[in-house]
Amino acid sequence: MSEALLASFTQPQAFDSEQLGRPVVRLAPAIAEHPERLRQETAAWRRGGVWLASLRLLAERAAGCEDVLAEHGFRRIETLVTFERSTAAPPPAVYPVERATREDGHEAIAIARSAFRYDRYHADPLVPNAAADRLKGAWVANSLAGRAEAVLVARWDGRVAGFVTLMQTAEAGVIDLVATAPAAQGRGIGRALVAASLAFVAGRRPRLRVATQADNVASQRLYRGCGFAEVARQATYHWVNPELAR
């Protein structure tokens, strides 16, 4: 195997590194098939000051790699469940949803910094929750600045009660991030945001895709209730440098 191919297994994550305050890298799935390379990489990360490495594998593939990954210090953090559905005939929204304005940014970012608990950084006890909250807030700020195809907001009682950021691939629209303010949960805000996402993507892409954690039962119930079907499961692993874990 060429050195160029081996080097391509590890990809620095500039955004995550900046928000979490320490170097973060992501691994290509193929590295799980090369235990010696894993050993070399973890040794290099210790020397080079990498704090966290993440790896995501299809669930059916992960089953055969668990022992090797554990041997090299990787911990299974989450199972990511991906759903899809056609953008035809979206369900009706029970709350007004519209494109976010610049004035909505402060409220949307505040929601992002308080609403997430199941994502891989919040789920990892070795990642401070404050850092994970900060990352989500910056994610929304970047989306509002143009990273996302669109940012939609739902309003309740005159305030932003939830948001969704939308992206597109060649095949489908993607719900990149979605959240409801803790005080507004249980009022149908999430369903309204999903319905508006389907309406926005309709005519642009034939399908809409979204992913959530297996532990997030409420989100899975929402997506299934809106007509989405599960299409994939992935296992997420983290390696945290033991020299920098404290």
User: Do 23 and 100 fall into the same domain?
Assistant: no
pTM: 0.93
Q: Is residue 246 part of a domain?
A: no
User: Do 74 and 111 fall into the same domain?
Assistant: no
Q: Give how many domains the chain has, as a whole number.
A: 2
User: Do 175 and 74 fall into the same domain?
Assistant: no
CATH of the domain at 64: 3.40.630
Residue 199 has pLDDT above 80, yes or no: yes
Question: 79 with 228: CB under 8 angstroms?
Answer: no
Torsion of CA 136, 186, 213, 49, to 10 degrees: 20
Cα 20 to chain centroid, rounded: 15
Looking at every residue in the chain, the average pLDDT score rounds to 94
User: Do 114 and 178 fall into the same domain?
Assistant: yes
Domain of 32 in residue numbering reads as: 3-79+235-240
User: Do 69 and 89 fall into the same domain?
Assistant: no
User: Do 18 and 96 fall into the same domain?
Assistant: no
Q: Is residue 60 part of a domain?
A: yes
- What is the share, in percent, of the chain residues with pLDDT greater than 70? 96
The tens digit of pLDDT for each residue in 85-140 reads 999 998 887 889 999 999 999 999 999 999 999 999 999 999 999 999 999 999 99
